[in-house]
Amino acid sequence: MPVVNQSNLTRARALRWLSLRYKDNVAFSLYIRPLTGRAEIEKLLAQVLDRGEMLDALAEKAAKSPTGSIIFYLMDGGCVVRPPFPLAETVLYRGYEPGPLRSILEKDWKLGLILIRLGQWAIGIFEGEKLLEGKAGTGLVHARHHKGGSSANRFARHREKQMEYFFTRIEGHARELLEPRSKSLDYIIYGGARDTLLRMQKQCRFFGLLEGKVVDRLLSVRDPKRSAFEQAVGQAYASEFYEFKRA
């Protein structure tokens, strides 16, 4: 099986990679639209690549990416890139064509970041990696009560009320920040705890109105607060690289 080397590259490092890596050695470049299935990717690759372990490895890694994938293929290996933001279409180029990916990385997208964990939240508006406006706060939500009995049931109901109030407050702040800018925002990206975010989205109608602009990625943010914005927006612009070499 081909050997794979995985890395997450910041915007600056990814642009440097595109300028220095491969260049004249790439046989073809394949851009694949978001959520394309493995079977369709295999058909596309079969036009330019013999079936075998390398084709299987590239197709598997490129499949079902929420932002699409780019495959750069060399005679002794290949690379799959999952870009930070969605590709517009599926296109096959002969040789090395980094242009569409470079355009995505160089553009200063207008982003809304919503970072949530129980008890902490931060919401920011960015142009490129520059914070235009942001808010952050906390809310009291007690940890789970693991003992049984009627007191535990009362505690659970009280905790539910705390969570409802916490999410309602976040929804108010999100409306204040995001609603006036909803038309100008390119994308919304969530970060924090997935279960907490899903629960908040289920309770709060406003977040459903943003769905058309949401990139299906989850930023890894341990402490959602103002000081986390720089790390979070850096993650938002990062790309996943998977480089394959023949064993």
In the prediction, which pLDDT does 246 show? Answer: 78
Same-domain pairing of 172 and 120: yes
Mean pLDDT of the chain: 90
- Over residues 114-127, mean pLDDT: 95
- Which of helix, strand or coil describes residue 161? helix
Choose among 144, 146, 145, 139: nearest CA to 117. 139
Q: Is residue 246 part of a domain?
A: no
In the prediction, which pLDDT does 155 show? Answer: 55
In the prediction, which pLDDT does 76 show? Answer: 78
Parallel/antiparallel/unpaired status of strands 214-219 and 187-192: parallel
pLDDT, tens digit, for every residue of 186-214?
Answer: 999 999 999 999 999 999 999 999 999 99
- Over residues 221-233, mean pLDDT: 96
CATH code of residue 154: 3.30.420.60
Q: Is residue 126 part of a domain?
A: yes
Residue 122 pLDDT grade (very low, low, confident, very high; cuts 50, 70, 90): very high
CATH code of residue 66: 3.30.960.10
State the residue for tokens 């997450």: 8
Q: Which of 107, 130, 164 delimits the end of a domain? A: 107
Q: What's the number of domains the chain is made of? A: 2
How long a stretch of residues is the chain?
247
Same-domain pairing of 83 and 160: no
Same-domain pairing of 161 and 190: yes
Same-domain pairing of 125 and 228: yes
Asked whether residue 18 carries a pLDDT value surpassing 80, the answer given is yes
**Which of 68-77, 89-98, 106-115, 138-147 is predicted with the least confidence, judged by mean pLDDT?**
138-147
Same-domain pairing of 81 and 173: no
Q: Is residue 243 part of a domain?
A: no
Choose among 7, 27, 11: nearest CA to 73. 27
Cα 37 from Cα 39, distance rounded (Å): 6
Asked whether residue 226 carries a pLDDT value surpassing 90, the answer given is yes
Same-domain pairing of 31 and 43: yes
pLDDT, tens digit, for every residue of 142-170?
Answer: 565 555 545 556 656 667 788 788 899 99
**Which of 20-24, 50-54, 220-224, 236-240 is predicted with the least confidence, judged by mean pLDDT?**
20-24
Q: What's the domain range around 13?
A: 3-107
Same-domain pairing of 50 and 130: no
State the residue for tokens 């995001």: 178
In the prediction, which pLDDT does 141 show? Answer: 62
Q: At what angle do helices 11-20 and 99-106 cross, to 10 degrees?
A: 160
Q: How many CA atoms lie within 13 A of 119 on its CB side?
A: 8
Asked whether residue 242 carries a pLDDT value surpassing 90, the answer given is yes
